[in-house]
Amino acid sequence: MSVDAPPPVSSHSEATLDRGRAVTPAELRWRADWIRLQTVQLIDQAGVGHYSSTFSCAEIIAVLYYHTLRLRPAEPQWPDRDRFLLGKGHVATGLWPVLADLGYFSAEWLTQFGKIGSPLNDHPNMRLAPGIDFSSGSLGHNLSVAVGIAYGGRLSGRDYRTFVLTGDGELQEGQVWEAAMAASHYRLGNLVAIVDANGFSGAGPTSAAMNIEPLGARFEAFGWRVAEIDGHDVVALTRTLDELPGPASERPICVIARTRKGKGVAMMEQAPQAWHLGLLEPKLREQVVAEISGRMRRW
Amino acid sequence: MVTGTQNVPAPKMVDVFSDVAIDTALATNPAGVAIAEMADADPRILTLTADLGNVLADFRQRHPRRYLELGIAETNSVSVAAGLATCGYLPYIFAMAPFGVLKCAEQIRTDLAYNHLPVRLVGRLTGLAMGIFGTSHHAVEDVAVARALTNMTVVTPADSNAVLSLMRSTVSHQGPIYIRIAEGAEPVYAAPPVFEFGRWLRLHCGSEVSLIGHGLGVGLAVRAAGELAARGVQADVYDAAFLKPFDEEAIVDTARRTGAVLTIEDHSEVGGLASIVAETVGRNGLSVRLDRVALPDEDLEVGTPAALHEHYGFTAAGVVAKALALTGRA
């Protein structure tokens, strides 16, 4: 598959995208690298951005949006859609190309990223961008918001699921654990938290700053069902999300996706902190693009 | 009532946890009474509390599924309410003001105000209502914080009837609202008054001094106006029930009419009604004598509400003294 090939799964803007859509692992791997490539482009436009944190969750975003979530891009407020909240809002550069590709807005919008007046910000704003179920940027809020949305599903009798993607550093926020308590108290089995456990926060290794492990045992102690997987293995991600208990189940689910910060770009994997926030100089950018593109031709 | 003065019992401590009688009475729990009645007619209405469920006794009985207890986790309650609002619900969070508002300032800003979500914060035990428990329990900066947030609406009912009016009339407002309940407020209105959004009601007409209060300050202003009238001083009295948006026209009109404006509030002198009026007269280039009955920007004392109000001059006599000084008749 080439870098420039038409996206294998896209342009569904007229229809409902059902849960468990057919897609091959190769297509999902290609899509994850496409997200990385698009991220490099968007950060280049803006002049600064979060590379390595976006790269660690590229497979997660690819699997959710091209396989798992029930969506209706032409009707972003469709009440029965599955919700997705980007708790780690600083990786929105990985989401914007996906939402454009699925038809939430024109790809033309991407060219305005980083400019005053752009509806697409470095952190997502639900009032400006179709397809954003809740704004984020201040870490630790979105799991609470998701509890409210999941509870709303219970009240209204709708069978949507609510997914939240959190960072692992984000779990140091106390409010996350208030939400974790509330989710099991109210038996919200329609709520799925996916932790992009890349092991690093802004200033260094997450658990060196404040230990968050053993993460699985902690969520279990709070009453959650826990699955721990390789967050870059699209087959494991797909299977885990396919096998979620029905939304009527009574235990919230936490998928701990063990990932690598900077995944997919060798020099970033070696120095993930250095690329938490930054801008690739032109020569380095060419190397990074070549590395990702080369892999995409092989998928 | 607005037309007369009377002897009013000193404000007492309000026990919202164990005094069942006060939870179901209009005089002591107007917000709880109002929300139970409003929810009967509007299925979008939900209530949430962080360990303050006793003030929703009626509501919980009538609508048990529409009440969420979040435990002692105020910040979570605000963000959960935000999520519910995205699903078309109208969540009312009943909270102790020092924790439900001040502790949650960032959640209120980021999750509610920036997103224009119709969540209502019903702040109980505002100002010095929990004065005996220590400075942690004072809520005297809440208006300053709430009104600094873009898209917030801040309303401060003067009494139980005003609570009914302000809660009912704002039910379909699109953005977040902070409803600051004045505990133990003396009656000002004989029936629920009619408020126009963002406008103040003029309760007494005069041309020598303006008395503008909100919450408990309105009752004091009305009583003080009666005492001033007995001394031959006619006061122009306003109920500043909307602090955001506020009634700029009313401020300019009364300032021009009297040239002397006194604000009265159970709040810090920083960022509340005193600031609103000073900013407005300054911006309009009015040369006006200003003073305020408010709480000083210093470490506050601890005591019963009545004792603290006396200590800080937050009484009708305190208002009269400052009003006379402003008019040069002290």
Per-domain boundaries in chain B:
20-180, 201-326
Contacts of A138 in chain B (CB under 8 A): 106, 110
Is A128 an interface residue toward B (CB < 8 Å)?
no
| Interface residue of A144, A173, A186 to substitute, partner B, most B CBs within 10 Å | A144
Q: How far apart are CA B312 and CA B300, in angstroms?
A: 9
- In chain B, the residue whose alpha carbon lies closest to the alpha carbon of A179 is B76
- Is the pLDDT at B5 greater than 50, yes or no? no
Work out the pLDDT band at B22, boundaries 50, 70, 90: low
pLDDT one-digit tens code per residue, A209-240: 999 999 999 999 999 999 999 999 999 999 99
Q: How far apart are CA B157 and CA A177, in angstroms?
A: 35
CA atoms within 13 Å, Cβ hemisphere of A102: 28
φ, ψ at A11 (rounded to 5°): 55, 45
Q: How far apart are CA B213 and CA B192, in angstroms?
A: 18
Per-residue pLDDT averaged across B36-60, rounded?
Answer: 95
Cβ distance of B87 and A156 shorter than 8 Å: yes
Work out the pLDDT band at B21, boundaries 50, 70, 90: low
How far from B149 is each of A20, B105, B265, B303, CA to CA, in Å?
42, 9, 20, 31
Domains (ranges, CATH) in chain A? 25-298 (3.40.50.970)
Is A22 an interface residue toward B (CB < 8 Å)?
no
- Is the pLDDT at A50 greater than 90, yes or no? yes
Q: How far apart are CA B125 and CA B55, in angstroms?
A: 11
Residue type, B109: R
- In chain B, the residue whose alpha carbon lies closest to the alpha carbon of A186 is B68
Work out the pLDDT band at B208, boundaries 50, 70, 90: very high
Q: What is the DSSP letter of A173?
A: S
What's the mean pLDDT when you consider all of chain B? 94
- In chain A, the residue whose alpha carbon lies closest to the alpha carbon of B89 is A152
Q: How far apart are CA B134 and CA B180, in angstroms?
A: 20
Residue type, B56: L
Q: How far apart are CA B257 and CA B251, in angstroms?
A: 10
Cβ distance of B83 and A145 shorter than 8 Å: yes
Work out the pLDDT band at B10, boundaries 50, 70, 90: low
What CATH architecture is B201-326? 3-Layer(aba) Sandwich (3.40)
pLDDT one-digit tens code per residue, B59-84: 999 999 999 999 999 999 999 999 99
Q: How far apart are CA B172 and CA A235, in angstroms?
A: 47
CB-CB neighbours of B320 under 10 Å = 24
- Is the pLDDT at B18 greater than 80, yes or no? no
Q: How far apart are CA B9 and CA B190, in angstroms?
A: 18
Is A152 an interface residue toward B (CB < 8 Å)?
yes
Q: How far is A152 from chain B (nearest CA, A)?
A: 6
Pairing of strands A253-258, A191-197: parallel
- In chain B, the residue whose alpha carbon lies closest to the alpha carbon of A180 is B76
State what percent of residues in chain B have pLDDT above 90: 90
Is A147 an interface residue toward B (CB < 8 Å)?
yes
Cβ distance of A134 and B68 shorter than 8 Å: no
The token pair at A106 is 């024109």
- Among A136-150, B12-26, B297-311, where is mean pLDDT lowest? B12-26
**Strands of B201-204's sheet, edge to edge?**
B201-204, B235-239, B209-213, B260-268, B289-295
How far from B239 is each of B64, B164, B193, B211, B242, CA to CA, in Å?
36, 15, 11, 9, 8
pLDDT one-digit tens code per residue, A164-209: 999 999 999 999 999 999 999 999 999 999 999 999 998 899 999 9
Beta-bridge partner residues of A253: A192, A225
pLDDT for the residue numbered A273? 86
Contacts of B51 in chain A (CB under 8 A): none
Output the CATH code of domain B20-180.
3.40.50.970
CB-CB neighbours of B196 under 10 Å = 10
Work out the pLDDT band at B28, boundaries 50, 70, 90: confident
pLDDT one-digit tens code per residue, B101-143: 999 999 999 999 999 999 999 999 999 999 999 999 999 999 9
CB-CB neighbours of B130 under 10 Å = 23
Cβ distance of B83 and A181 shorter than 8 Å: no
pLDDT one-digit tens code per residue, B137-193: 999 999 999 999 999 999 999 999 999 999 999 999 999 999 999 998 999 999 999
CA atoms within 13 Å, Cβ hemisphere of B57: 16
CB-CB neighbours of B38 under 10 Å = 18
Cβ distance of A134 and B85 shorter than 8 Å: no
Instruction: Characterize A264-282 residue by residue with b for buried, 16 or more Cβ atoms within 10 angstroms of its Cβ, and e for exposed.
Output: bbeebbeebbebbeeebee
Are A227 and A250 in contact by the 8 Å Cβ rule? The answer is no
Residue B26, H or E segment: none
pLDDT for the residue numbered A12? 46
Per-residue pLDDT averaged across B251-271, rounded?
Answer: 98
pLDDT for the residue numbered B7? 56
For residues A142, A148, A153, A155, the Cα torsion angle rounded to the nearest 10 degrees is 180
**Strands of B67-69's sheet, edge to edge?**
B67-69, B45-49, B90-96, B120-124, B177-180, B153-155, B242-244
Is A84 an interface residue toward B (CB < 8 Å)?
no
Work out the pLDDT band at A10, boundaries 50, 70, 90: very low
Q: How far apart are CA B74 and CA B254, in angstroms?
A: 40
- Is the pLDDT at A76 greater than 80, yes or no? yes
